[in-house]
Amino acid sequence: MAFSKFKNCKISGIVTVVPQIEKSIDDEIALYGGNEKQIQRIKKAVGLDKRRVTDKDTTSVDLCYQASIKLIEGLCINKTEIDGLIFVTQTPDHFQPSNAAIMHGRLGLEKTCASFDINLGCSGYVYGLWMAHMMIASGTCKKVLLLAGDTISKYVNAKDRTTAPLFGDAGSATLVEKSEQVQPSFFSLHTDGSGHDFIKVPAGGFRCPSNSETATSIEDSEGNWRSQDDLHMNGGEVFNFSIKTEPAAITEILEYSEKIIDEIDFVVFHQANKYIITNIAKRLKLPLEKAPCETVSKYGNQSSASIPCTINDALNKQVSTSQQQLILSGFGVGLSWASAIVNLENIFCPPVSIYNKEGTK
């Protein structure tokens, strides 16, 4: 089973950057037949409200580049000391080369820096942390720059109300480095590929290359429009998966670490939506004040970047000024899910930053 315990590794800083463009579900009332009451119910129950999306030219590399620069400057890191670079994304700039290679060049890192992408979404940040910890624990690296960023808004059809009001974009940068202090971190990782169709972009790869036919939007029985080039999501199946899998995942990581929930300061879930997070918390009998769930209402579901964004948005003061023991848990596309228990103590963790297009050079 995929369980891991690491010592002598620490997270030193987390930065998240979101795009300048803000959209609101209030401006998309036409998607709901002009029903203002339905809009208000969705905002209250599901937590959908505002989200940040990129323009047509801005990519996950751009967002993560600015996050990286702010992190490097904030921690006063010598870039020559970074010997590992991981880029978690499902919206790469190109099929080839990897986003990690592009970022390596833009940051001007040493040729001895190992760099690679991880193709994961909602669980990807925790998977990336696990990989960074392994690289350090093995003695391969001393400082690993973990980037997690997605621009899922580019994949959604503007006339699909199951996805259009939900997804936002973001890029994050996290430094994981070797530490002389023994602060154990715990990880558990899972996959259920039998549900791979539940969140999917059907066309665009080599199994089904994009063409004029795949780009044609079709209306479904509920009035949503989407093409084979757009993101398709089975909301009911994703909800059932989330509320069934996540409570067991949190219980599992607590048992593996031999901890109890009272020892945990906060549980930071992937920000799928507020309704899912509150349902998971209730099943765990977890006080809602220990499970931040408002980030999705400000920035949308940010895929791989939602966990770091929640830390920067909701917990930046706590982790910047004291020691906090957190459970991080991501779940979604794949289907895959991953949880971790980590200690964050006086780390560099500024509030969420807004992307500055002039700063991408």
Q: What are residue 150's phi and psi, to 5 degrees? A: -145, 150
Q: Which of 214, 204, 176, 6 is nearest to 84 (CA)?
A: 176
Catalytically active residues, by annotation: 122, 270, 301
pLDDT in tens, 174-206: 999 999 887 899 999 999 999 999 999 999 999
Report which secondary-structure segment, H or E, holds 250. helix 235-257
Structural Rg of the chain based on CA atoms: 19
Residue 56: Cβ-neighbour burial (10 angstroms; 0-12, 13-18, 19+): exposed
Closest CA to 234 of 216, 222, 245, 246: 222
The domains located in the chain, with CATH, are 1-361 (3.40.47.10)
Determine the Cα–Cα distance for residues 205 and 214; give it in Å rounded to an integer.
12
Which pTM was predicted?
0.94
DSSP states along 290-356: GS---HHHHH-B-GGGHHHHHHHHHSHHHHHHSEEEEEEEEEETTTEEEEEEEEEES-B-PPPEEP-
Contacts of 290 (CB under 8 A, 6+ apart): 264, 265, 266, 267, 281
Per-residue pLDDT tens, the chain, 361 aa: give them.
589 999 999 999 999 999 999 998 888 877 776 678 878 878 777 888 899 999 999 999 999 999 999 999 999 999 999 999 999 999 999 999 999 999 999 999 999 999 999 999 999 999 999 999 999 999 999 999 999 999 999 999 988 888 888 899 999 999 999 998 878 999 999 999 999 999 999 999 999 999 999 999 998 888 888 999 999 998 899 999 999 999 999 999 999 999 999 999 999 999 999 999 999 999 999 999 999 999 999 999 999 999 999 999 999 999 999 999 999 999 999 999 999 999 999 999 999 999 998 765 5
Question: From CA 214, how far away is CA 220, in angstroms rounded?
Answer: 15
Amino acid at 192: D
What torsion, rounded to 10 degrees, do the Cα atoms 324, 144, 311, 26 define?
-170
Longest dimension (CA), the chain: 59
What size, in residues, is the chain?
A: 361
| Residues 116-168: tens digit of each pLDDT | 999 999 999 999 999 999 999 999 999 999 999 999 999 999 888 888 888 99
Question: What does the DSSP 8-state code read for residue 167?
Answer: B
Q: Determine which helix (DSSP H) or strand (DSSP E) holds 88, and give its type and residue range.
A: strand 84-88
